[in-house]
């Protein structure tokens, strides 16, 4: 199944039957899949007039307590950032997928990872965080998509997937049946569905009284601390023993790094890989621990170097952190990573 279509199907199987979006390459297949699939499940598919409207419709839809989601790509996510700030301030659960392309500006429609900072730091005005999952395969996209709805409901906060044009466009076998999905929680204590037999519910983001405004922000900060403690996800490869070099990569580039590790093994060079699955919360403690047994790190990204800052932050200057990146839609080949590792090892 194609990555983008699998994302749409995963959402439906997670009970999310309300989709508002705007066409943008390289993720339009999600809409094209869902417009045919939603009628089967009695769901809502609506193509809005812009990403601005799609994300704002998501706010209205999420306020009913139903599971809702949208998908877009980098320039569209910029437009959605207004609504995402409001959605987060209103503590609404939504799921948003960014099938990242190369930027800035229109950039290009080929794969990119340069929205790392946008997703983990700057997804809108104000003090807030969204969970960011970085799948590296179509199967993992499905699993994380379904988990995304569960965590969005659990924390009443947006959960996002940072995919890219490669994972979105590639076809791989998918198993939906072994992905568990708990029932959504009861949302009737806050959802706006008509004030029958109860006091009105109000979903707002304006706090003119600074005491109220600070309280709302501190409640969110406490929620983020819980997420940071409980929701870090990562994977390691060939790091069971101390290594001279640990590669660090997320999403599709982690797979390039896996191939590079195989190539290096054939030359008798053992290198490991640390792959964050959650970009926020970033697995800082795990990476910090890894620094005790690793001589140096090499971050490989399709950007000018964004995740590399988080690695430096985690390692706290104790070990050198190097960077290799390609931009503009250029995907690094395994041989390039091999050459970079050899250069660092003086070979």
User: Closest separation between CB of residue 88 and other proteins, Å?
Assistant: 12
CB of 63 to other proteins, least distance (A): 5
What is the rounded distance in angstroms from the CA atom of residue 245 to the CA atom of residue 324?
13
Q: Of residues 25, 79, 81, 82, which one binds other proteins by CB under 8 A? A: 82
The neighbour count for residue 318, using CB atoms within 10 Å, is 11
C-beta of 33 vs 69, nearer to other proteins: 69
DSSP 8-state class, residue 125: S
User: Please, are residues 195 and 188 in contact by the beta-carbon 8 Å criterion?
Assistant: no
Q: Are strands 44-47 and 18-21 parallel, antiparallel or unpaired?
A: parallel
Contact between 18 and other proteins by CB under 8 A: the answer reads yes
* Closer CB to other proteins, 206 or 222, in the complex: 206
CB 20 within 8 A of CB 68: yes
| Candidate ranges 136-144, 200-208, 275-283, 285-293; the one touching other proteins (CB under 8 A) | 200-208
Output the smallest distance, CB 126 to other proteins, in A.
12
Residue 216 lies near other proteins (rule: CB under 8 A): no
Give 105's contacts (C-beta < 8 A, 6+ positions apart): 75
Tell the smallest beta-carbon distance from residue 62 to other proteins (Å). 8
Return the number of the residue (75 or 329) whose C-beta is nearest other proteins: 75
Residue 189 makes contact with other proteins by CB under 8 A: no
44 binds other proteins (CB under 8 A): yes
Q: By CB under 8 A, tell whether 48 contacts other proteins.
A: yes
H or E stretch covering 276 = strand 272-276
Q: Show Cβ contacts of residue 196 under 8 Å, excluding neighbours closer than 6 positions.
A: none
| Residue 308 lies near other proteins (rule: CB under 8 A) | no
Of 56-64, 247-255, 295-303, 337-345, which part binds other proteins (CB under 8 A)? 56-64
DSSP symbol at 157: S
Question: HSE-up of 134 (CA within 13 Å, CB side)?
Answer: 30
Nearer to other proteins, 12 or 264 (CB): 12
| Alpha-carbon gap, residue 11 to 149, rounded angstroms | 8
Question: Could you give the angle at the alpha carbon of 148 between the alpha carbons of 283 and 216, nearest 5°?
Answer: 80
Interacting residues toward other proteins by CB under 8 A = 18, 20, 44, 46, 48-50, 52-54, 56-64, 66, 68, 82-83, 86, 90, 192-197, 200-206
């Amino acid at each position: 199944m194609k990555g983008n279509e699998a994302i749409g199907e995963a959402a439906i199987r997670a009970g999310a039957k309300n989709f508002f979006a705007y066409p943008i390459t390289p993720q339009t297949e999600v809409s094209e899949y869902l417009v045919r699939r939603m009628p089967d499940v009695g769901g809502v598919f609506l193509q809005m007039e812009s990403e601005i409207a799609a994300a704002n419709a998501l706010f209205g839809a999420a306020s009913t307590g139903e599971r809702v989601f949208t998908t877009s790509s980098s320039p569209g996510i910029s437009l959605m950032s207004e609504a995402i700030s409001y959605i987060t301030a209103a503590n609404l659960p939504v799921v948003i997928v960014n099938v990242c392309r190369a930027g800035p500006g229109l950039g290009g429609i080929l794969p990119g990872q340069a929205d790392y900072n946008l997703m983990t730091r700057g997804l809108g005005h104000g003090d807030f965080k969204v969970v960011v999952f970085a799948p590296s395969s179509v199967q993992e996209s499905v699993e994380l998509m379904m988990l995304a709805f569960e965590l969005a409901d659990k924390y009443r906060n947006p959960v996002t997937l940072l995919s890219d044009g490669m994972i979105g466009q590639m076809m791989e076998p998918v198993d939906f049946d072994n992905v568990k999905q708990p029932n959504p929680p009861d949302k009737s204590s806050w959802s706006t569905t008509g004030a029958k037999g109860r006091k009105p519910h109000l979903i707002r983001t304006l706090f003119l009284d600074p005491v109220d405004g600070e309280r709302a922000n501190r409640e969110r900060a406490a929620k983020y601390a819980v997420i940071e403690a409980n929701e870090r996800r990562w994977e390691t490869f060939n790091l069971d023993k101390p290594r001279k070099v640990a590669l660090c990569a997320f999403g599709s580039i982690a797979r390039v790094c896996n191939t590079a590790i195989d190539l290096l093994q054939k030359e008798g060079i053992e290198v490991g890989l640390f792959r964050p699955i959650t970009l926020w919360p970033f697995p800082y403690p795990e990476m910090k621990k890894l620094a005790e047994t690793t001589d140096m790190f090499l971050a490989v990204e399709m950007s000018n170097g964004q995740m590399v800052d988080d690695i430096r932050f985690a390692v706290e200057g104790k070990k050198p952190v190097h960077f290799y990146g390609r931009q503009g839609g250029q995907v690094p080949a395994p041989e390039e990573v091999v050459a970079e590792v050899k250069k660092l090892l003086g070979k």
